[in-house]
Structure 1
Amino acid sequence: MTTSEQPAITLPAAREIIALHTAAVAAGPSSTAPLADDVLGWARVNHFYNASLWAEEDLARRQKALDAEIVANKRAIDRFNQARNDAIERIDEWLLSALGLVDASSIGSLTPRSTQQAGARLNSETAGSMVDRMSIMALKIEAMRLQTLRSDVDEAHLAACRERLTRLRQQRDDLGDCYDELLADSAAGRAYFKVYRQFKMYNDPRLNPALVVENTAKP
């Protein structure tokens, strides 16, 4: 098979990602993270942890809760945020592998090696980060949609929320267009992005200064 006869790379389009998020929102909260064995699976995992974060963030802002409950919320937020970022990295690894823009032997390492074409521009935001942002937009859209259905507020509140809902949907559409363009440009050799390790320090007892002091303090 010649190069011109090679099958086109099939990558998830923004409309598929948005449909995935919409379906997850409609299904409601889940207590168990989905399993992942492909890029869409990792997008589901990412969304699960974004939804979990959203719920915990709301709870952490309660004014009448016990201090111990807020501490539990904060620790859950840290865990969920770590898992959310891990899923973003998996999404980028899958997409870059499909695009042939990362050395396969370096996948999973701390420093995956890019294999971009000469002259390709480096995109500062990764496709995985865009998927993550679309997930958050799905949660915002649903939360704002519910505001437009309230019967305990005045018309001014409802009108403002309807306007915000329209803007949020437009923002997600624009983001989806940027995602599709990045993948198209990357497939054509015009652009590339990298797997960026987040190196979250606050969860690591070796790197968080407060934890270092706590763990080395004399009893």
Structure 2
Amino acid sequence: MSGPANDPGRLPTVTGQVEDWTRLQIDCVRRWHDEPIANPHSGWLAWVCQQHAFNFQLWHEEDVARNPNVTDARIAQVKRSIDRLNQQRNDWIEKLDDAITESIHQSGVAVSEDAPINTETPGSAIDRLSIMSLRLYHYAEHLQRKDVDAEHRTKVETRWLLCQVQHADLSASLQTLMDDLFAGRKRHKTYRQMKMYNDPSLNPEMTG
């Protein structure tokens, strides 16, 4: 994937509202199903797009992994791809949170030491919204199918509508959290996920 987000050396300033970020995710899902993955954005939106791209690729590799007709060799290849993409996805959650930390600092926000910490970081919420945009797209695809019965269509529509509610709820909650962070009402930290499975020094199966 080419784009400005491939240069992660400088932390971007957080810009826009949550609805801008979720609109980007939804638009990219639609476009990337018809076009190659690309990141035409700059700054903070480029970083949101980059993290989203790893989820997009991960979603479709996991579909392949569950195909009972693929060969064992293909499954092994896909499993390695899934591990790599999942690591990148998680790395970029941390990068998003690091950028938020820097933006809060640059904004001169005074945060009390006893201000509460949210149970989920904004980066993790952005990741969840990314996955939700993929889920909404693929449920909507199923609603367009002509080869399914009414029971299947009802099940899909029920889930699609629930996903819309959950997406709206999470978007609103994230916006509240961002407002609280930049007003100093809550403290923000980047929580390192410290995955072990891709580290040869920590995974004994990789040191042979």
**Deviation of the 1:94 alpha carbon:** 1.2
Corresponding position: 1:69 with 2:69: no
Q: Distance in 1 between matches of 2:153 and 2:196?
A: 41
Q: Distance in 1 between matches of 2:96 and 2:14?
A: 14
Tell me what 2:153 maps to. Answer: 158
Q: Distance in 1 between matches of 2:97 and 2:204?
A: 30
Tell me what 1:54 maps to. Answer: 59
Tell me what 2:144 maps to. Answer: 149
Name stretches of at least 5 consecutive residues in structure 1 with no aligned partner: 1-8, 103-114, 215-219
Tell me what 1:12 maps to. Answer: 16
Tell me what 1:81 maps to. Answer: 86
Q: Distance in 2 between matches of 1:121 and 1:14?
A: 21
> For 1:143-162, what per-residue CA distance to the aligned partner results, in whole angstroms no more than 9, with x for missing partners?
10011111001011111111
Name stretches of at least 5 consecutive residues in structure 2 with no aligned partner: 1-12
Q: Distance in 2 between matches of 1:134 and 1:51?
A: 12
Identity %: 36
Matched length: 194
Counterpart of 1:18, as a letter, is T
Corresponding position: 1:203 with 2:198: yes
**Contact kept? 1:119, 1:190, Cα under 8 Å:** no
Q: TM-score, normalised by structure 2?
A: 0.86
Q: TM-score, normalised by structure 1?
A: 0.82
User: What CA RMSD, in Å, does the superposition of the two structures yield over aligned residues?
Assistant: 2.2
Tell me what 2:126 maps to. Answer: 131
Q: 2:180 aligns with which of 166, 179, 185?
A: 185
Tell me what 1:43 maps to. Answer: 48
Counterpart of 2:187, as a letter, is Y
Q: Distance in 1 between matches of 2:47 and 2:155?
A: 35
SS in 2 for 1:12: coil
> For 1:113-161, what per-residue CA distance to the aligned partner results, in whole angstroms no more than 9, with x for missing partners?
xx84232101121001100000000000001001111100101111111
**Contact kept? 2:139, 2:160, Cα under 8 Å:** yes
**Deviation of the 1:171 alpha carbon:** 0.2
Corresponding position: 1:171 with 2:166: yes
Q: Distance in 1 between matches of 2:158 and 2:37?
A: 34
Q: Distance in 1 between matches of 2:45 and 2:59?
A: 21
Q: Distance in 2 between matches of 1:151 and 1:19?
A: 28
Question: Which region of structure 1 is more displaced relative to structure 2, 147-156 or 11-20?
Answer: 11-20
Q: 1:140 aligns with which of 130, 135, 142?
A: 135
The list of structure 1 runs, each at least 4 consecutive aligned residues, that deviate by more than 6 angstroms after superposition, is: none
Residues 25, 126 of structure 1: alpha-carbon distance in 2 compared, 3 angstrom cutoff: same
> For 1:58-85, what per-residue CA distance to the aligned partner results, in whole angstroms no more than 9, with x for missing partners?
0001112111100000000011111111
> For 1:28-81, what per-residue CA distance to the aligned partner results, in whole angstroms no more than 9, with x for missing partners?
246556377522111101110001000000000111211110000000001111
